[in-house]
Amino acid sequence: MNLCCGFAAILIADLHISSILILTGMFFDVIDGLIARLLKVQSDIGKELDSFADIVSFGVAPAYLYTLISPIDHWTYYMPAFFILIGSALRLAIFNLQPEAKYFTGLPTPASSFFLVGLFIGVEFDSDVMQTIIEYPFIYTMIPVVLMLLNLSKIKMFSFKQVGKNLNYNLFILVCIITFTALTMINYKLAMPIGVIIYIILSLIYSIKIHK
């Protein structure tokens, strides 16, 4: 279902509907993984299929939608979208080669996609902040570059797979939920990008702590 949602998001090519489809794909991605772990039916082919679906839903689809918010209608301004695609593909390839750990190394592709979906929604619903950001070609270009660098970074990121196993993780999840709820109530157009930024900041703090 995740794969179908991503493909549909590309076909429809509408910032609002496609964003909802990507978010729906995220939901199915979480549910699929949760069910597989609960039933202990995880397999290598399932892992590969999951990554294939992720690259479509969280790589190709957001990259294509990013071209739709280009400040200038010229092919050169479609180039930054390739950083989204490359960052997602490399991140997923690296993830598949890593042993399972209690944290992610680098920004997960769903998180970077979540940030971009928030950007799309902000632009679609005329968020002044988002519109202003996208109007500057330099910022428009740098957003995918920064996301790619975060995807490929060595920063230890919180993994939501650890919910229920560790008190610190549970507290982190609670903070995320409360923060995201508050942000949504204050300004739903900015909630998703800011939520991801907070996730990155908290993960940076966590990464520094475990290296001490």
Asked whether the CA dihedral 90, 122, 137, 72 is positive or negative, the reply is: positive
Domain that holds residue 110: 2-155
Give the integer Cα–Cα distance in Å for 98 and 184.
34
Q: Which residues contact 13 (CB under 8 A, 6 or more apart)?
A: 64, 65, 68
Tokens of 84: 């989204």
Residue 115 lies in a domain: yes
Give how many domains the chain has, as a whole number. 1
Q: What is the mean pLDDT of residues 53-73?
A: 91
Higher pLDDT, 15 or 132: 15
Strand partners, 104: 157
Eight-state DSSP code of residue 79: T
Residue 204 lies in a domain: no
CATH number of the CATH domain containing 107: 1.20.120
CA dist 56 to 21, 31, 36, 113, 156, Å? 12, 17, 21, 11, 24
Residue 137 lies in a domain: yes
Residue 109 lies in a domain: yes
Residue 39 lies in a domain: yes
pTM of the model: 0.85
Q: What is the pLDDT of residue 41?
A: 66
Give the integer Cα–Cα distance in Å for 151 and 107.
4
pLDDT in tens, 92-132: 888 877 777 677 888 999 999 999 999 898 888 876 777 77
pLDDT in tens, 146-191: 999 999 998 888 776 655 555 666 676 677 777 777 877 777 677 8
Q: What is the pLDDT of residue 12?
A: 94
